[in-house]
């Protein structure tokens, strides 16, 4: 009897020492700790990744952009240098950035990149909007098929698809052969390495990024709004302009940003499909780095391009945040 009650008392004392009578608070404290650690891990790992593989390389590029070209390894001057007598010399060469402003090549490359990206975005919007609209209004079973077809090209490598366009557009390629076989033309049309092939390549590659966000907004839209507008005396074109278009604005902004931003810095498509005179900042960057081997100027080009692209991204983010706030209010 006594031993039995002794053991029990001891167990109770142990239990109390371990964390109080009911054991509840201890458990929650543990859980809270786990939760905090878990949340930290979930947020921390991607941030660590970005720090290691984005921010550090970016800082290195930023550093190089303030250096000067020299022949040697590495092919640029150091930023910090110990001098005799315990001096630490910091040499910030701003010449690279000034050079970008002085040489019309870079400015026109930037401008032409913006132009190409803007025109491509507009073409993608004009092709993508009707597509997205048709998919959103299709029956649910067809909708799934159409969406699959939009995403299907991603199954193949981007590079291979761009190469495939060479085969289609070149002088003895698919289109020219077909047109000549039909007797419509005698000599092949110059399609490849022109503005046309450049736009075809960019619009083709980025069209899904336009269609998908547009589809998402159009699909959510209440059809009875369109009916209500028609009921109130609005003809189809005006229904589109006064109701459908304003309500699909978030999709238009998202799609346009997703096409415009990567198109500005695009290098592969202008290199493979564009003409010799196609001037795009991605291509300039490439030749500066690999042909000219001028790392500092190439870095400055890269930093300037980044700044140029950050502006539309910030606008986009701001717009999205406003949308989210508005959605919260409803």
- Give residues in contact with other proteins (CB under 8 A): 222, 224-225, 227-235, 238, 242-243, 246-247, 329-330
Is the peptide bond preceding residue 74 cis, with omega within 30 degrees of 0?
yes
84 vs 231, beta carbon nearer other proteins: 231
- CB 243 → other proteins: shortest distance, Å? 6
d(CA 36, CA 90): 42
- CB 225 → other proteins: shortest distance, Å? 5
- How many residues does this entry show for the chain? 330
CB of 158 closer than 8 Å to CB of 209:
no
- CB 195 → other proteins: shortest distance, Å? 37
- CB 229 → other proteins: shortest distance, Å? 7
- CB 217 → other proteins: shortest distance, Å? 12
Q: How far is CA 328 from CA 89, 152, 168, 205, 230, in A?
A: 54, 34, 48, 34, 29
291 vs 330, beta carbon nearer other proteins: 330
194 vs 323, beta carbon nearer other proteins: 323
CB of 39 closer than 8 Å to CB of 46:
no
7 vs 242, beta carbon nearer other proteins: 242
Give the residue among 298, 303, 274 at the shortest CA–CA distance from 286. 298
186 vs 222, beta carbon nearer other proteins: 222
User: What ranges make up the beta strands (E) of the chain?
Assistant: 80-83, 87-90
């Amino acid at each position: 009897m006594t031993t039995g009650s002794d053991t029990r008392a001891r167990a109770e004392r142990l239990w109390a020492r371990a964390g109080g009578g009911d054991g509840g608070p201890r458990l929650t404290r543990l859980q809270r700790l786990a939760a905090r650690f878990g949340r930290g891990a979930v947020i921390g790992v991607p941030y660590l990744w970005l720090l290691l593989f984005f921010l550090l390389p970016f800082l290195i590029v930023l550093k190089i952009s303030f250096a000067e070209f020299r022949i040697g390894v590495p092919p640029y001057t150091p930023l910090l240098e110990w001098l005799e007598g315990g001096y630490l010399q910091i040499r910030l060469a701003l010449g690279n950035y000034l050079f970008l402003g002085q040489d019309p090549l870079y400015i026109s490359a930037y401008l032409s990149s913006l132009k190409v990206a803007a025109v491509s975005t507009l073409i993608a919007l004009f092709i993508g909007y009707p597509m997205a609209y048709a998919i959103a209004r299709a029956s649910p079973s067809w909708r799934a098929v159409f969406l699959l077809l939009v995403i299907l090209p991603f199954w193949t490598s981007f590079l291979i698809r761009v190469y495939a366009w060479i085969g289609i557009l070149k002088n003895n390629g698919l289109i020219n052969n077909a047109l000549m076989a039909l007797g419509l033309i005698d000599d092949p049309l110059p399609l490849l390495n022109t503005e046309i092939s450049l736009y075809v390549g960019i619009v083709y590659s980025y069209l899904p990024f336009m269609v998908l966000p547009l589809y998402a907004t159009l699909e959510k839209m209440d059809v009875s709004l369109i009916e209500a507008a028609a009921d109130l005396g609005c003809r189809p074109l005006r229904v589109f302009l006064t109701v459908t278009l304003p309500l699909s604005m978030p999709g238009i902004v998202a799609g346009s940003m997703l096409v415009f931003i990567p198109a500005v810095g695009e290098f592969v498509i202008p290199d493979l499909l564009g003409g010799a005179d196609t001037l795009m900042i991605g291509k300039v960057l490439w030749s500066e780095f690999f042909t000219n081997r001028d790392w500092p100027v190439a870095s400055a080009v890269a930093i300037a391009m980044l700044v140029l692209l950050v502006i539309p991204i910030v606008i986009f983010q701001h717009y999205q945040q406003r949308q989210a706030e508005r959605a919260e209010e409803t």
